Each structure stands twice: as structure tokens, then as C-alpha cells.
């Protein structure tokens, strides 16, 4: 290892100075023990007081799909309730907000007159917006909005498409009107006339809103996708929405997305959808393409699993050392270049699954000069740089060690080194050779927080046995992953 790391080349004028992002806190989460409490905590996040609250049934998404633009217009949170009584946590939040008006969305089958009487006993005036079906409810909500000439059309028999567009529609006060797949409901056609709509956005593919319906709409633009996650992705892409702040919520239920949509609109932020257990490729794609870094997660771990968001919005350069004609250290039938590439690829898989964007200086048996490795890091806009190596010396030398340099971002680099070294020792059981400062080229000339990790000695029989084991290589990758997570948190 010494022969490859003493090398320091004069950079001259190769590199420009970059303003590099520093470590950020993990994505904040607005959650609660149930959907009522999530809605209350969203309300607490966005409103210190509110003259008006909008109430919907916690199970009846059909009535609620069109509510976001009205709630935003009234600067009101959307809260959830039971059918026959006002849910206690919701009632307490209404008191906290010192609200004077409640807007009920849906008929008595969704929210009974018992709830209205309870609200009136609290001193609120109550307005109900209902209709014989969800299409009429949406029409009646649209009548409360200003005429902007633009409307959103979404499939009314499911919720994801309508909720993906809700913050945008709310921010612009565009009504969300509902349709079936094969025919345009009379109430929706009437709303288009009443609102003098001259342009429509169809949210969802042809399986949700057919071309037969599209042909009946004024100046339609379709924002579709193969699934709900891609629809949410394409809402951002086609409307060129800002991703400076972004909300992430489950695409498998409506409650958190609905109640969070108004807060998202207030933050000028779009909604991205995920599954409870993993980030869909479509969601990862937009996060990585837009280099989205600021998130708020809506819902508890049962809705959005923590493991799928541990590195959400983070950007890491992974640098497996050596390659091609440069094998690196040799020992026990192993080549360093092969070991570290495998560990690097395993680390990439782990990090991408947790929401990170990854650049690898090499992902095959290619030789990359040291100057080019540093250049890749410096031009990337990434948060961190991690160079992966294996050590060599006599057969008695053993253990793992991690290096940093103080030329740029020294304190942050040392933090990253400490966290990764700690995880390697804990998971691998190798000797702890510590965290050290050194002038290795790729960390000396990389301007973002950067470290070089020596996994173990390829020339030591015990270390080499671990370096040659696929099980232990995965453990090395896990250690680098969790060390990076600890650093960002």
C-alpha cells in the first residue's frame, strides 16, 4: 500500500474550487401512532392557528381527493375523523388552532351529523360540501375555487394520481375533478363548463383515464406513467417543479399524502411516493436526477420504512482502488483490485437501496489515474468520497485502519473516518489500527469530505480469509454503509 499512497502529484491548475455541500441531518419525519395523529402533527408543523379546518373521514378517500385546493385557499389544515364522533386527537387540535369554522367534506355516510353537532358545541360554524357521489363532491368543491381556466382531471376510483398532483393544484387553486376510466361523468363535464376551463391536466395513464375521456376535455395534457410512482415522478418532470424541498409518503394509502398535501403546497414542495419497505426505481430516479437533498417524510415507519430512507438524498462517490494492469496488493491468491471492487459494488447496492445517489470512479476492471479519481469527486457535487483499499506488509501485520486529510474539510473527513472505522471493527472483528491522518493523493486533493479505508491486510492469513469471503465482503460493505449513515445523522 505504501508504494501507491506516497505518490503525490502537483495539480497545477487542473481543479477549480467548488462550494461543496456539507453533511446534512437525516430526513425529518412527521409521524404519529395512527393516521389521525399524523394529520394533527402535520397541522402543528404548518399552522400555529387557523380560522378554518377541513375535515374528512379517515377511510373515505373518494370525498377527500379534491379537498386540497380548497384547504389551501382557506389556509386550513386537513384533519381526519371517525364517522360517528370527532376523534379526540383531532378535537384537541381544533382547540389548539382556535378554529372558528369547520368545512366537512362528504355526506352523512362519511361524517355524521353527530360530528357536526359536536363541532357546533365547540363554538364552530360548520359547512358541509357533499353530493350524491364523489364526482359531484368534486364539482361542489370546485365551485368554492376561483376561476383560473385550468383544471386537473384524475381517476376517481383510486387515490394515488390525484394526490401526486394535489400540492401543485392546491398552490395554483386549480380544481381537481374526477372521472371514470371510460366516460366523463356529467358532474365533471358540468364543472368544466361552470369554471370556464380552457386547459386540463390529465393525471395518470390510459388505464386510469382513457383517450375516450381525453377527447372530451379542453386542451388536455397527459401526465402519465407505468405506475403511481412514475406518475408522481412525471408530475415533477413535466411541470418542472422545484425540488428544493420535497415530501415523501406512502403511495399505498391516502391519508398521510392527503393531509400532507396542503403543507407541501405551503412549502412549494412536490409529493413523491414510495412503498412501505423500499424506494421504487421511479422515485430513486427523480431523487438522483434532480439531486434532491431536502426531504420531509410523512407517516411512521410502517408507512415509510426507515431503512429505505437512511441515505435519502445523499450523494456519495465510491472509489475502489487500482484496476486493470495495477492489481494493488497481492496475497493468499487474492488481488486487491478484485476485492475492493466487489466491496465497492456491494456498498453501492446498499446505499442506492437507502436512497443515495452513487458515482463510482470505476465499476469494472479499469485503471483510473489518481488525478482522475480526485477530479471525478471534485466535479461531482457529491457529499462524500470513500476510497476502498486493502493493505499489505509482512504476514504478522493485521487489522483495519481509516485515513483522512486536513487539506479540505478536515473535521468532516475525520468524522466520516471515525464512523466507518468504528463500524468495520464492530462488524468484522479485525484488529483496530485506528483513524489516522495521511497525505494519500485521493484524499489530499479531494475537496469534499473524504476518507481512505484499508479493510485489512491481504498478506495476513486471517485478514485474507475475510477479504476472500463473499460473506465478509458484504459485512465490509455493510460497515461502510452504516458508518456513512452514522456520519450523516
> 40 pLDDT exceeds 60?
yes
Q: What is the DSSP string of 169-200?
A: HHHHT--EEEE-SSS--HHHHHHHHHTT--EE
**C-alpha cell at position 242:** 422545484
pLDDT in tens, 146-177: 999 999 999 999 999 999 999 999 999 999 99
Q: Is 437 a catalytic residue?
A: no
Determine which helix (DSSP H) or strand (DSSP E) holds 385, and give its type and residue range: strand 384-391
**C-alpha cell at position 352:** 442506492
Largest Cα–Cα distance in the chain?
A: 84
Of 317, 312, 269, residue with least CA distance to 20: 317
Percent of the chain clearing pLDDT 70 (strictly above): 95
The residue to which cell 391516502 is assigned: 254
Q: How far apart are CA 253 and CA 235, in angstroms?
A: 19
pLDDT in tens, 415-444: 999 999 999 999 999 999 999 999 999 999
pLDDT of residue 381: 93
Of 153, 131, 140, residue with least CA distance to 197: 153
Main-chain phi, psi angles of 94, to 5 degrees:
-60, -40
Domains, the chain: 2-22+313-488 (3.40.630.40), 29-309 (no CATH)
For the residues 92-111, what does the mean pLDDT come to? Answer: 97
Alpha-carbon torsion (10, 14, 19, 20), positive or negative: negative
Lowest mean per-residue pLDDT among 2-16, 88-102, 248-262, 298-312: 2-16
pLDDT of residue 462: 96
Q: How far apart are CA 295 and CA 306, in angstroms?
A: 13
Identify the top-confidence range among 276-290, 305-319, 421-435.
Answer: 421-435
Of 203, 262, 253, residue with least CA distance to 233: 203
Angle, helices 88-97/35-46, rounded to nearest 10 degrees? 10
Give the pTM: 0.82
> 394 pLDDT exceeds 90?
no
Amino acid at each position: 500500500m505504501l508504494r501507491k499512497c506516497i505518490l503525490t502529484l502537483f495539480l497545477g491548475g487542473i481543479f477549480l474550487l467548488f462550494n461543496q455541500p456539507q453533511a446534512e441531518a437525516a430526513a425529518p419525519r412527521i409521524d404519529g401512532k395512527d393516521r389521525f395523529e399524523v394529520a394533527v402533527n402535520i397541522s402543528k408543523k404548518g399552522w400555529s392557528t387557523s380560522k378554518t379546518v377541513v375535515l374528512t373521514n379517515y377511510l373515505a378517500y373518494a370525498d377527500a381527493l379534491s379537498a386540497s385546493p380548497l384547504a389551501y385557499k382557506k389556509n386550513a389544515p386537513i384533519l381526519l375523523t371517525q364517522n360517528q364522533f370527532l376523534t379526540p386527537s383531532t378535537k384537541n387540535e381544533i382547540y389548539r388552532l382556535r378554529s372558528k369554522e369547520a368545512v366537512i367534506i362528504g355526506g352523512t355516510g362519511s361524517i355524521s351529523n353527530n360530528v357536526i353537532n359536536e363541532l357546533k358545541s365547540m363554538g364552530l360554524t360548520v359547512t358541509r360540501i357533499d353530493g350524491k357521489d364523489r364526482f359531484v363532491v368534486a364539482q361542489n368543491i370546485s365551485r368554492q375555487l376561483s376561476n383560473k381556466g385550468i383544471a386537473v382531471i384524475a381517476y376517481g376510483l383510486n387515490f394515488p394520481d390525484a394526490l401526486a398532483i394535489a400540492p401543485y393544484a392546491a398552490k395554483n387553486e386549480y380544481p381537481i375533478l374526477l372521472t371514470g376510466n371510460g366516460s366523463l361523468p356529467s358532474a365533471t363535464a358540468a364543472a368544466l363548463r361552470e369554471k370556464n376551463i380552457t386547459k386540463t391536466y390529465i393525471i395518470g395513464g390510459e388505464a386510469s383515464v382513457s383517450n375516450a375521456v381525453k377527447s372530451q376535455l379542453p386542451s388536455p395534457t397527459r401526465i402519465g406513467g407505468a405506475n403511481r410512482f412514475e406518475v408522481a415522478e412525471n408530475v415533477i418532470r413535466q411541470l418542472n417543479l422545484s425540488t428544493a424541498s420535497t415530501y415523501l409518503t406512502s403511495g399505498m394509502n391516502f391519508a398521510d399524502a392527503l393531509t400532507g398535501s396542503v403543507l407541501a403546497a405551503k412549502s412549494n414542495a412536490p409529493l413523491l411516493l414510495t412503498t412501505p419497505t423500499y424506494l421504487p426505481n421511479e422515485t430513486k430516479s427523480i431523487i438522483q436526477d434532480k439531486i434532491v437533498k431536502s426531504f420531509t417524510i410523512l407517516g411512521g415507519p410502517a408507512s415509510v420504512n426507515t431503512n429505505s430512507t437512511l441515505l435519502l438524498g445523499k450523494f456519495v462517490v465510491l472509489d475502489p482502488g487500482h484496476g486493470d494492469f495495477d492489481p494493488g496488493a497481492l496475497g493468499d491468491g487474492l488481488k486487491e483490485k478484485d476485492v475492493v471492487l466487489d466491496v465497492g459494488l456491494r456498498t453501492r447496492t446498499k446505499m442506492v437501496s437507502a436512497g443515495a445517489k452513487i458515482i463510482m470512479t470505476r465499476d469494472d476492471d479499469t485503471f483510473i489515474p489518481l488525478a482522475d479519481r480526485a477530479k471525478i469527486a471534485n466535479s461531482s457535487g457529491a457529499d462524500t468520497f470513500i476510497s476502498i483499499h486493502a493493505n499489505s506488509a509482512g504476514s504478522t501485520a493485521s487489522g483495519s485502519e481509516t485515513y483522512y486529510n486536513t487539506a479540505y474539510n478536515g473535521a468532516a473527513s475525520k468524522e466520516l473516518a471515525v464512523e466507518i472505522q468504528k463500524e468495520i471493527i464492530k462488524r468484522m472483528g479485525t484488529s483496530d489500527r485506528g483513524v489516522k491522518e495521511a497525505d494519500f493523493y485521493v484524499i489530499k486533493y479531494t475537496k469534499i469530505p473524504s476518507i481512505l479505508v484499508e479493510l485489512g491486510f491481504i498478506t495476513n492469513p486471517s485478514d485474507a480469509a475475510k477479504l476472500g469471503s463473499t460473506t465478509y465482503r458484504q459485512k465490509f460493505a455493510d460497515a461502510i454503509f452504516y458508518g456513512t449513515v452514522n456520519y450523516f445523522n
